[in-house]
Structures are given as structure tokens and as C-alpha cells.
């Protein structure tokens, strides 16, 4: 009978131990569920950050496209100005030829024609001033193009930095 009581006590003790173990396992399961919820929240936050970074990258790409369009427009304007400069240089050569002809005519004509020759020289000076202005405008456009290219390089660097940041914030996946 004592053996039976000892056996019963032993079984009760084992049952209590198994209940304690069950409670401990239940507590660990609850802790792991809390940890899982926390990890899911962090993953959602990182996905929101990823979406935000993707939006910023798209905005910077739109800005890059806009700047490229402006650069192309300025290059078209530069070509147009170069064409105008070439036309004005051709006009200058033509006017210089006319001035030489008028100087030859001056030698052969009377003093009354000298005032007309002086007028053509004044016209030449005016054209030279216009040519200088167009050359100054060309230099200004070249400076603006260089500024645009520097801005483009800066934007490309910003895009690479934001891509690096996006890659650093991507969640690690498990196989």
C-alpha cells in the first residue's frame, strides 16, 4: 500500500512537473507570437520606407528627364545661335567686300561720295557690335549648359545614394 502511495505521489509530482512545463511552453509560445508581431510591424515599416524611397527615386528620375529636356532645348538654341552667328559672319564678309568696293569707288569719285562711304563704315561697326553681342550670348549659353551638366551629375549622385539607401533597408529574406 505504501508503494502504491509512493507511486501515486510520484505520478502526481510528474503531472505537476508536466503542467509546469506546459505553462512554460505556453508562455514561450506567447512570447514568440509577440516577437512575430513585432517583426511583422518592422517589416511593414521597412516596406513603407521602401515605397517612400521608390517614390523619391521616381521624382528624381522625373527631374532628371526634365533637366535632360531643358539641356536638349538649350542645345537646340545653341545650334540656332551658331547658325545665326555663321549667317552674321557671312554678312560681315559680304559687308567687308562692299566696304572695299566703296573704298575703291571713293578713290575714283568726288568728295561728295565720301559721306556715303563713312555711312557704310558706321554700318560695319554696328554689325561688329551685333556680332560681339551674339558671341557673348554664345558664351553665356555655354556656361548655362555646363551648369546644367553639373546639376545632372549631382542628381545622378543623389539617385545612386538613394538607391544605396534603399538597398540597405531591404528586409532580409529566409529560404
pLDDT band per the 50, 70, 90 thresholds, residue 35: very high
Quote the pLDDT of residue 111.
Answer: 65
pLDDT band per the 50, 70, 90 thresholds, residue 172: low
For the cut 60, the answer to whether the pLDDT of residue 137 exceeds it is: yes
- The three cell numbers of residue 26 are 505556453
Distance CA 15, CA 8 (A): 10
For the cut 90, the answer to whether the pLDDT of residue 164 exceeds it is: no
Distance CA 154, CA 175 (A): 39
Q: Identify whether the C-beta of residue 120 lies closer than 8 Å to the C-beta of residue 99.
A: yes
User: pLDDT exceeding 90 applies to what percent of the chain?
Assistant: 65
Quote the pLDDT of residue 175.
Answer: 43
For the cut 60, the answer to whether the pLDDT of residue 64 exceeds it is: yes
Q: Identify whether the C-beta of residue 64 lies closer than 8 Å to the C-beta of residue 149.
A: no
Quote the pLDDT of residue 82.
Answer: 94
Across the range 5-26, mean pLDDT stands at 90
Between these two residues, 156 and 112, which has the higher pLDDT value? 156
What's the mean per-residue pLDDT of the chain?
88
Distance CA 156, CA 153 (A): 5
For residue 31, the SS3 value is helix
Q: Where are the domains of the chain?
A: 2-168
- The three cell numbers of residue 132 are 560681339
Q: Which CATH class is domain 2-168?
A: mainly alpha
- The three cell numbers of residue 165 are 539607401
pTM across the whole model: 0.35
Give residues with Cβ within 8 angstroms of 163, minimum separation 6.
57
β strands within 57-147, DSSP E? none
Amino acid at each position: 500500500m505504501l508503494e502504491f502511495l509512493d507511486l501515486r505521489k510520484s505520478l502526481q509530482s510528474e503531472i505537476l512537473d508536466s503542467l509546469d512545463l506546459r505553462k512554460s511552453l505556453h508562455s514561450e509560445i506567447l512570447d514568440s507570437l509577440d516577437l512575430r508581431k513585432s517583426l511583422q510591424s518592422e517589416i511593414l515599416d521597412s516596406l513603407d520606407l521602401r515605397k517612400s524611397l521608390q517614390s523619391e527615386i521616381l521624382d528624381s528620375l522625373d527631374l532628371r528627364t526634365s533637366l535632360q529636356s531643358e539641356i536638349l532645348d538649350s542645345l537646340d538654341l545653341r545650334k540656332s545661335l551658331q547658325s545665326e552667328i555663321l549667317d552674321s559672319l557671312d554678312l560681315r564678309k559680304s559687308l567687308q567686300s562692299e566696304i572695299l568696293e566703296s573704298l575703291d569707288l571713293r578713290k575714283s569719285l568726288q568728295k561728295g561720295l565720301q559721306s556715303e562711304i563713312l555711312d557704310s563704315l558706321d554700318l560695319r561697326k554696328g554689325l561688329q557690335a551685333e556680332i560681339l553681342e551674339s558671341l557673348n550670348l554664345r558664351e553665356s549659353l555655354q556656361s548655362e549648359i555646363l551648369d546644367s551638366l553639373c546639376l545632372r551629375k549631382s542628381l545622378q549622385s543623389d539617385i545612386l545614394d538613394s538607391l544605396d539607401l534603399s538597398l540597405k533597408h531591404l528586409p532580409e529574406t529566409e529560404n
